[in-house]
Amino acid sequence: MTFVNLPNELLLTIFEYAAHAHVIGDRQWVVQLALVSNTVYEVVRRSLYHTLVITDRNYKHFRNSKQTERILPFVRSISIFVENSNSAHDLWQYLSRWSPPGNARAYLNVPWNPSAKNILDHLQDVHPTPVCIIASILVRYNLLQEAILSGYTFSMSAVVATHLERIGGYVSNHGEWHTTPESQLSSPRDWGQAVLDSLPALRHILFRVVDIEYFDDYTEEMKEYLLEVAKWCRVYSTIVLA
């Protein structure tokens, strides 16, 4: 049996698999595949629009184009790399219309701020059950503890935190480990327990340590502290020195 003689259902399955396999390495090829027919487009678009990366170069397209609202139902991963604060404000309004289905396992890579928190609250808190499950978040710019520990003003809502399986972000580089802004310096056990209390489904935590000398004696102490935190959280950990 030749390729063209395969049943349509099998052909569409092959197209869907091919789109998923090549969308990162050769996106233009997937775009061309989507143009074969309306039926092929229907199955390919899930892969084509799965990941949305917004930068200073392309944000105007997402901000102004009504066409882009049609892709939001298929988006499961959003990464935002926009430095201009006014541009970012417009994007938050656009992304507030993002409402993946309840069984979606979404990923966010965002600069943490009140606007980002508001988007998550919109997706989660106004519903008795989550609109979608945010399974993974990479927090940028603010300290990780400010986003996840419930004692902080702009920490994520409990509805989001309850389902979160992977979290990553910046941590203090000089031992300023507090479970709340007013708390005293916390031990690895206390800090780890606070993380676990906030994120009961956590499986993996990524620590990004900035402004630290690779050959400083303190580096090893920091690693030991982070490993102890992960131990008390009972999760897999990754430590990145930046």
Torsion, Cα of 11, 70, 160, 108 (10° steps): 80
Q: Look up the domain containing 1 and give its range.
A: 1-48
What pLDDT score does 167 carry? 92
Any domain includes 7: yes
Whether residue 112 is predicted with pLDDT greater than 70 in this model: the reply is: yes
Any domain includes 102: no
Distance between CA 227 and CA 238 in Å, rounded?
Answer: 9
Tell the burial category of 41 from Cβ atoms under 10 Å away from its Cβ (0-12, 13-18, 19+). Answer: middle
- The residue-averaged pLDDT of 174-191 equals 81
**pLDDT band, residue 204 (cuts 50/70/90):** very high
- Which residue did the predictor score with more confidence, 65 or 223? 223
230 membership: H or E segment, kind and range: helix 217-233
The answer, as to whether pTM is greater than 0.85, is no
What pLDDT score does 175 carry? 58
**Cβ proximity of 141 and 190 under 8 Å:** no
What pLDDT score does 156 carry? 86
Q: Number of folded domains in the chain?
A: 1
Whether residue 154 is predicted with pLDDT greater than 70 in this model: the reply is: yes
Any domain includes 180: no
Backbone angles phi, psi at 204, to 5 degrees: -145, 135
Any domain includes 21: yes
Any domain includes 184: no
Any domain includes 223: no
3-state percent helix, strand, coil for the chain, nearest multiple of 5:
45, 20, 35
What pLDDT score does 129 carry? 63
Any domain includes 11: yes
What pLDDT score does 87 carry? 63
C-alpha closest to that of 26 among 4, 47, 57, 52: 47
Any domain includes 179: no
Percent of the chain past pLDDT 70, that is, above it, reads 81
What pLDDT score does 33 carry? 87
Instruction: Give the type of residue at 91.
Output: L
